[in-house]
């Protein structure tokens, strides 16, 4: 682009003119910056509320069980996290209730010594293992068969070993 006297514009002058043109022709909407900041600050409130509600409701009803009968465990990697509520049953058995955040339909696998337990998380990220033995455990989250492999790689998570 040249000026009327045919001298070339510097990059800085060219970008300055383009910036002025766009500000005049297509100005930024009023409140856009504030709206974006609010959206970013509140995007995970639903997940946080669900986690807080779960933690709040993990207390036992009077006369049913003591607090020592429930463990809360959380594992996270990148943007994916798992919250587990582990309840004692009987004879060294456990019930595991889990929540995946952000919610996704994923295959969930618990591995213990020589046993594997499998289930699928709901679209809301909820899953459970109603009756499994206590012991050294590791968990995998994997995409369901047929899900895009690239998307699944981003969604998966493997925990370190932990004890139920």
CB atoms within 10 A of CB 102: 13
* 14 Cβ contact list (under 8 Å, min separation 6): 1
- The bridge status of strand 93-101 relative to strand 106-112 is unpaired
| Residue among 125, 69, 130 nearest 100 (CA) | 125
Tell me the average pLDDT across 123-139. Answer: 93
pLDDT digits 0-9 by tens, 13-59: 999 999 999 989 998 888 888 888 777 776 666 666 665 655 555 44
Helices and strands in the chain: count of H runs, count of E runs: 4, 9
Domains and CATH numbers, the chain: 67-163 (2.60.40)
Q: What pTM, to 2 d.p., does this model score?
A: 0.56
Q: What is the pLDDT of residues 63-79, one digit of tens each?
A: 444 455 788 888 888 78
């Amino acid at each position: 682009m040249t000026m009327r006297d045919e001298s070339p514009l510097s990059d800085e002058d060219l970008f300055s003119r383009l910036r002025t043109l766009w500000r005049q022709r297509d100005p930024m909407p009023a409140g856009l910056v504030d709206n974006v900041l609010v959206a970013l600050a509140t995007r995970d409130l639903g997940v946080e509320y669900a986690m807080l509600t779960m933690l709040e409701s993990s207390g036992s009803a009077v006369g049913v069980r003591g607090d020592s009968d429930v463990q809360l465990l959380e594992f996270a990697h990148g943007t994916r996290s798992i919250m587990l509520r582990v309840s004692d049953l009987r004879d060294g058995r456990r019930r595991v209730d889990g929540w995946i955040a952000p919610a996704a339909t994923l295959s969930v696998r618990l591995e213990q010594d020589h046993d594997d337990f499998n289930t699928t998380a709901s679209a809301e990220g909820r899953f459970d293992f109603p009756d499994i033995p206590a012991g050294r455990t590791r968990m995998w989250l994997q995409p369901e068969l047929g899900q895009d492999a690239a998307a699944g790689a981003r969604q998966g998570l493997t925990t370190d070993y932990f004890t139920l």
